[in-house]
Amino acid sequence: MRFEQESDPPVDKPVVIAGMQDMGNVGGVVIDFVNRSLGTAPFRRAVPDHPSHVIDRGGSIDVPDEGWEYRYGDGVIVFGGGRGQPEGAEMGELCRDVIGVAQSHSAKIIYTVGGFHAGSRAGAPRTYVTSTSGALAERLSGMGMRLTPGRSAITGFNGIMLGFAKNAGMDGIGLFGEIDRPDVVQYGAAASVVRTLGALTYMKIGDAGELESRMRG
């Protein structure tokens, strides 16, 4: 994994929001929506050392241009989006870099975003939250947030990143939108996460109804 620094963003004590492609691509959709809504600008890029796949065009292949951006806006650093996730040692290297960037700008909290596979469900998707401490979980519950319903393993960047935040002494909150089909892009779950993220950060992150209209379309 290599890291390409384009500029040093003038942000201090930002909210950090991170997410990558996952089940239903909730993480990727939320990150892309936040970047569009807040008009963020790129300042750093993470690039894997080797491709995770190639594209066969029928007799010849193309190597995809893989990588994930760090972007910034007013009081915020946003990481991720794009396609796929790193594997093995590169996952740890990437998580450590996100922590390093957050600490270099004196960030106090990291929010991760992704999907929560609830199986069958009725009604609009809900967002469940988990956090890096019991005290933080109590605060979230007191705000009316739905805590994740029980013990489970959270795999992939959107969960592992919380572990790195905890080990670094930073607060972290994971927001996971309820999905029923991991193989289909879940715009409704992404809209639920965007609304919850706005409520927690007090940021105006755009009209999540735009995502729901894509779901209906």
209 has a pLDDT exceeding 70:
yes
**Cα–Cα distance for residue pair 203/201, rounded to 1 Å:** 5
pLDDT of residue 44: 98
Q: Give the largest CA-CA distance in the chain.
A: 59
- Residue 74 DSSP class: T
> Which residue in the block uniquely carries the two structure tokens 């491709």?
51
What is the number of structural domains in the chain? Answer: 1
**Phi and psi torsions of 61, nearest 5°:** -120, 155
CATH number at residue 143: 3.40.50.10900
Supply φ then ψ for residue 125, to 5 degrees: -60, 145
Residue 18 has pLDDT above 90, yes or no: yes
Residue in the block written with tokens 């670094």: 168
CA 151 vs. chain centroid, Å, equals 21
Burial 94-118 (b: 16+ CB within 10 A, else e): bbebbbebbeebebebbbbbbbbeb
Range of the domain at 209: 2-53+62-216
pLDDT digits (tens, 9 = 90+) for 73-98: 999 999 998 888 888 899 999 999 99
Q: What is the DSSP string of 194-215?
A: HHHHHHHHT-----THHHHHHH
Amino acid identity for residue 208 in this structure: A
Task: Give the model confidence (pLDDT) of 106-124 as tens digits.
Answer: 999 999 999 998 766 667 8
Task: State pTM to two decimals.
Answer: 0.92
Tokens (6 digits) for 93: 């290297």
